[in-house]
Amino acid sequence: MDKISLLGLVVGVGAILTGQVLEGGHIASLAQPTALMIVLGGTLGAVMLQSPFDTFKRGLKMLKWVFVPPRVDHKKLIDQISQWSHVSRREGLLALENFTLQIKDPFLQKGLQLLVDGADPARLREVLEVEITTYEEHMRQGARVWESAGGYAPTIGILGAVMGLIHVMENLSDPSKLGAGIAVAFVATIYGVGLANLVFLPVANKLKAYIARQVVEKEMLLDGLTGIAVGDNPRIIESRLQGYAFQEPGAASMSRAGRR
């Protein structure tokens, strides 16, 4: 459980509601189901219109990462690759074939199988780099679903406010209701801007951070498998991989781009 995500949401919403009370307002005045329906429904419709179904579904599934992030155990992976490098050094690359059936990660399984098949190190790197690039773009499209929602929500909120003002103008014959009507109209703007900046955009950015971490993990695996393919000393491979545990997300991708 990522407690900081939950804490951040509570702090952000709590600060706004507390400010409303300190200014002499009432929290109940912000509870407008119609305005919320306009903002959420309009934003959802815009995002669905923009996104292919698979991308939209992927983005929704990735939401759980905000509170239950994907685990990356660098130490376990380094130990695993180190074991493979020792085995290949003693018994040859074909000895690694026994490990391919034990691996569940498709990326790692494919890389190890290429290694066992005697793929050229340069070709091995090329194939796996394509896999990494495709995976990164695939997952980033899902994160963009939330980024798009953050872009549409404020505009939909303004649309809701304008609709509310139109309703107010239709009732100018009763001046006693104008103030309350205008206040209600602008609640839609609050919902739009609030959801965009407190939920949608932060979710998108957090998902991108987790995607970057996963890319670093795959870069580490690529580096280790390539090291085994060229016959590097197991200690050198292990030492090099340990640097990935402290690497900033995205740095490996920049390094990969520079080698192309």
> Would you state the pLDDT for residue 131?
93
pLDDT band at 146 (very low <50, low <70, confident <90, very high): very high
**Token duo for residue 255:** 């390094």
pLDDT at 22: 86
pLDDT for position 44: 96
pTM (two decimals): 0.83
Q: Are 167 and 185 in contact (CB under 8 A)?
A: yes
Give me Rg for the CA atoms of the chain. 26
| Continuous H helices in 170-197 | 178-195
Question: What's the pLDDT score for residue 177?
Answer: 64
Q: Span 119-130, mean pLDDT?
A: 90
Q: Cβ atoms within 10 A of the Cβ of 220, count?
A: 23
pLDDT of residue 17: 85
pLDDT of residue 156: 94
pLDDT greater than 70 at residue 179: no
Residue 255: which pLDDT band, with cuts at 50, 70 and 90? very low
Please, which pLDDT band fits residue 246 given cuts at 50, 70 and 90?
low
Higher pLDDT, 77 or 179: 77
- 164 has a pLDDT exceeding 90: no
Residue 249 has pLDDT above 60, yes or no: no
Average predicted confidence (pLDDT) for the chain: 86
**7-55: pLDDT as tens digits:** 988 998 888 888 888 888 778 878 888 889 999 999 999 999 999 999 9
User: Of 52 and 2, which is predicted with more confidence?
Assistant: 52
**Separate counts of helices (H) and strands (E) for the chain:** 11, 0
Question: What's the CA gap between 46 and 49, in Å, rounded?
Answer: 5
pLDDT grade for 119, boundaries at 50, 70 and 90: confident
User: Domain-by-domain residue ranges, the chain?
Assistant: 1-31, 32-259
Mean pLDDT calculated for residue range 230-243: 86
Q: What gap in Å lies between CA 184 and CA 114, rounded to an integer?
A: 63
How far apart (Å, rounded) are the C-alpha atoms in residues 7 and 3?
A: 6
pLDDT value for 43:
96
- Of residues 171 and 122, more confidently modeled: 122
Q: What is the mean pLDDT of residues 158-184?
A: 76
Tell me which of 69-73, 144-148, 157-161, 172-176 is least confident: 172-176
d(CA 59, CA 63): 7
Statement: residue 101 has pLDDT above 90: no
CA distance 100 to 111: 9
Q: Is 73 left (phi over 0), alpha (psi -120 to 50) or beta?
A: beta
Report percent pLDDT > 90 for the chain. 38
Query: What is the full DSSP assignment across 68-126?
Result: SPPP--HHHHHHHHHHHHHHHHHH-GGGGHHHHTT---HHHHHHHHHHHTT--HHHHHH
